[in-house]
């Protein structure tokens, strides 16, 4: 089945199901927060197979200078088929060449970002969130 990459925003329940399947540490116990994460994002690139959501890249961007790729997830049944790479490349395309893309990597995804997406590590600082994000969160 061909994979469709699109910028149409998915439904909250689809995102929760995908994040849980992919083991992405987000507040999936809180549908209201997930809904706000989707509506509040400036760019959501999704991958669908036969209409089903199988991958997602959620970004906050001004489309000219900076883009923070906040979430990237691919359903485990569809991983290692180039979908993650396609989602990042489509995100880069949508934000344009003048935009710097940055993200925080999970330890398990570091090789994907550095070796396969050729992202370069930079120093990063954070103010941690106080929201109790639940057992899957991080």
Q: Please give the residue ranges that form the binding site for ligand COA (CB under 6 A).
A: 22-24, 72-74, 79-85, 105-106, 108-109, 111-112, 116
Cα(26)–Cα(133) distance, integer angstroms = 7
Question: In whole angstroms, how close is the CB of 47 to ligand COA at the nearest point?
Answer: 8
* Shortest spacing between CB 125 and ligand COA, in angstroms: 17
Give dist(CA 19, CA 136) in Å, integer: 9
The tokens describing 71, both together, are: 């979430």
Q: Minimum Å distance from CB 121 to ligand COA?
A: 13
Residues in the chain: 138
- Which CB sits closer to ligand COA, 13 or 116? 116
Query: Measured from the CB atom, is 33 or 47 closer to ligand COA?
Result: 47
Would you say 73 or 95 has its CB closer to ligand COA? 73
Q: How far apart are CA 58 and CA 36, in angstroms?
A: 12
Which residues, at least 6 apart from 106, have a Cβ–Cβ distance to it below 8 Å? 25, 138
When the beta carbons of 50 and 98 are compared against ligand COA, the nearer one is 50
Residue 10 CB, nearest approach to ligand COA (Å): 15
In three-state secondary structure terms, 11 is: coil
Q: Nearer Cβ to ligand COA, position 75 or 94?
A: 75
Paired sense of beta strands 3-6 and 100-102, if any: unpaired
* Strands 43-49 and 100-102, sheet pairing: unpaired
Residue nearest to ligand COA (CB): 84
Cβ 29 to ligand COA shortest distance, Å: 18
């Amino acid at each position: 089945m061909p994979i469709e990459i699109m910028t149409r925003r998915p439904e909250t329940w689809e995102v929760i199901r995908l994040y849980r399947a992919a083991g992405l540490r987000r507040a999936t116990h809180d549908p209201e927060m997930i809904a706000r994460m989707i509506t509040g994002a400036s760019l959501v690139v999704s991958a669908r197979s036969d209409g089903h959501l199988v991958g997602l890249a959620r970004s906050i961007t001004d489309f000219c200078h900076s883009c923070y790729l906040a979430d990237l997830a691919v359903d485990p049944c569809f991983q290692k088929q180039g979908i993650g790479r396609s989602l990042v490349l489509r995100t880069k395309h949508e934000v344009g060449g003048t935009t710097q893309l940055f993200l925080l990597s999970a330890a398990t995804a570091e090789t994907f970002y550095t070796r396969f997406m050729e992202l370069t590590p930079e120093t990063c600082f954070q103010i941690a969130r106080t929201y109790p994000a639940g057992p899957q969160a991080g």
